[in-house]
Amino acid sequence: MKIFKYLLLLFLLFAIALTVFIATQPSSFEISASQTVKGNKKVVFGFVNDLNTWQKWFTPLQNTTTQNYSADSSAIEWNITEKLNIKKEQLVHYDSINCTINEYDFKGKTTFIFTKKNDTETIVTWRINGVSDNKLKFKAFLKGGFQSLFGGKMKQSLKNLNTVLHSTFFKYEISNDGFVTKTNATYIAITDTISFDGFDKAKEKNIATLTQIGKQHRLTFNNSPFVIFKTWNMATKTTIFKTCLPITPVNDSLTKIVNAQQLTGGLSLKTTLKGSYTYREEAWNTAFKAIEASNYKENKKGEYIEVYKTADAKIPANTTTEIYIPVYFETPKTVKNATTTNNDSIAAEPQVKIRRDTVKRNFSTTEIEAKIANDSL
């Protein structure tokens, strides 16, 4: 009995000593985690800076719902067992984001630092500086420190971030959809000569201008914007192209005022890119290879077209672009499992799908340019 009392006394003394030891430890702490993620600094910074995206990758928020979670441009609030929040305090564009954090057991500051690794990857360093209560200090002691207590969740959140960035910006699919006959169309257009690098910006500006012209003259747009490439000059690294908006045919006088033009239908290979415009080059190359493997030949006198079916700036993986390369039929050939894409399609080649999950370079100097450089399209 005495031995039991002594053991109990020793246990109580040890518990008191441990409690005093833990209570006298510093309340402040600093922890960090780092992860290389897909995307350049601008893309990654913009994604993390949008607090509406945090629910997709920040571990504590992944089980929240619209009933217990809200976010805007400056703060996140969630309430599972008690009300918690993160508020944006300061940022240096493309370099760092500072926030205050009010978690269950501590209050502090959290900082994200973005460092360029290369043109397609960024190192994200995440630091948390906090002040804990005795309960949290006890948890940290049992876990081996604050780094062990929170570090795993921070690393998992950064891994989640990388996964979400990939599915949002870099996932894509290219499919050859067969040989189709494009129908005639009426359109208004702006013709431009621009450097390869300036193409996307010029195209978007032209679409905005054409949209205003359409509104001014009460035109009815009846399909998606598209571009007709006229030349692709490797020597000067420039392209001549027409940005077009299809419209419902109008009377002769209005046709002259808005300079409405006609697209003549013809046989083309249709290729679809679902994903960022970054992969446009690979989509064109895929289309050219499909033609080479068929009984069709490129019709150099036809029109090479990109149609912009959908555009999603926030989730580029949802963007859809259609490519049409003019062709003519050379020699009959029996093809098994041929498919058609619509009532006007000419069945000739089996559908081919190519999937990729890796980052590719921008639309620039490759097969497409070698094939159509300096040619009138």
- Does the pLDDT of residue 80 top 70, yes or no? no
Lookup: tokens for 294: 């068929």
Q: Is the pLDDT of residue 17 over 80?
A: no
Residue 341 has pLDDT above 60, yes or no: no
Tell me phi and psi for residue 86, to 5 degrees.
-130, 130
d(CA 136, CA 146): 9
Per-residue pLDDT for 370 more than 50? no
Tell me how far apart the alpha carbons of residues 123 and 38 are, in angstroms, rounded to a whole number: 9
* pLDDT(352) > 90: no
Whether the pLDDT of residue 273 is over 60: the answer is yes
Rg (CA), the chain: 30
Q: Which CATH superfamily is domain 26-170 in?
A: START domain (3.30.530.20)
pLDDT of residue 69: 81
Note the pLDDT of residue 57.
Answer: 93
Q: Quick one: pLDDT band at residue 8, thresholds 50, 70, 90?
A: low
Tell me the per-residue pLDDT of 110-134, one tens digit each, with 9 for 90 and over.
999 999 999 889 999 999 888 776 6
Which among 342, 341, 332, 339 is positioned nearest to 294, based on CA atoms? 332
Which residue has better confidence, 349 or 318? 318
The upper half-sphere exposure of residue 17, i.e. CA atoms within 13 Å in the direction of its Cβ, equals: 6
The pLDDT assigned to 149 comes to 73
What pLDDT shows up at residue 9?
A: 60
Which tens digits make up the pLDDT trace of 291-328?
A: 999 999 999 999 999 999 999 888 899 999 999 999 99
Looking at domain 172-372, does it have CATH number 3.20.80.10?
yes
State residue 234 phi and psi, 5-degree precision.
-70, -30
Question: What is the C-alpha separation between 344 and 58, in angstroms, rounded?
Answer: 49
pLDDT over threshold 50, residue 355: no
Stated pTM of the model: 0.70
Tens of pLDDT, residue by residue over 195-229, are 988 999 999 999 999 999 999 999 999 999 999 99
- pLDDT, position 157: 94
Query: So what's the pLDDT on residue 68?
Result: 77
Given this model, what pLDDT does residue 73 score? 78
Confidence of residue 269 (pLDDT cuts 50, 70, 90): very high
- Structure tokens given for 19: 């409690």
* CA nearest neighbour of 243 among 303, 188, 312: 188
Taken as a whole, the chain contains a residue count of 377
CA 212, chain centre distance (Å): 28
Among 303, 319, 300, CA closest to 311: 319
| In the chain, domain spans | 26-170, 172-372
- Closest to 375 in 3D by CA, of 229, 251, 255, 264: 229
